[in-house]
Amino acid sequence: MILLRHGQSEFNLHFTATRRDPGIKDPKLTPLGHGQAEAAAEAIAGSHEVRRIIASPYTRALQTAAPLARRLGLPVLVNPVVRERYAFTCDVGSPCTALRAEWPDLTLDHVEEVWWPEIEEPADGVLARAARFRGEMAALEDWAHTVVVSHWGFILSMTGRSVGNGEWLPCDPREPALREVVWKHH
- Please give the Cα distance from 65 to 41 (Å, whole number): 8
Number of domains in the chain: 1
| 54 in any annotated domain | yes
- Write the pLDDT tens digit of every residue in 21-50: 999 999 999 999 999 999 999 999 988 899
Higher pLDDT among residues 186 and 159, named by residue: 159
Confidence of residue 77 (pLDDT cuts 50, 70, 90): very high
| 177 in any annotated domain | no
Quick one: CA dihedral 84, 88, 90, 93, positive or negative?
A: positive
3-state secondary structure of 120: coil
| 64 in any annotated domain | yes
Domain that holds residue 165: 2-170
| 183 in any annotated domain | no
Q: Vertex 90, ends 87 and 91: CA angle to 5°? A: 50
Residue 89 amino acid letter: T
- Write the pLDDT tens digit of every residue in 126-151: 999 999 999 999 999 999 999 999 99
Is the predicted pLDDT of residue 184 greater than 90, yes or no? no
Which domain CATH number covers 95?
Answer: 3.40.50.1240
| 99 in any annotated domain | yes
| 63 in any annotated domain | yes
Amino acid 121: pLDDT = 92
- Write the pLDDT tens digit of every residue in 94-127: 999 999 999 999 999 999 999 999 899 999 999 9
What average pLDDT is seen over the chain? 95
- Please give the Cα distance from 129 to 134 (Å, whole number): 8
* Strands 2-5 and 146-150, sheet pairing: parallel
Amino acid 168: pLDDT = 97
Amino acid 47: pLDDT = 86
Amino acid 20: pLDDT = 93
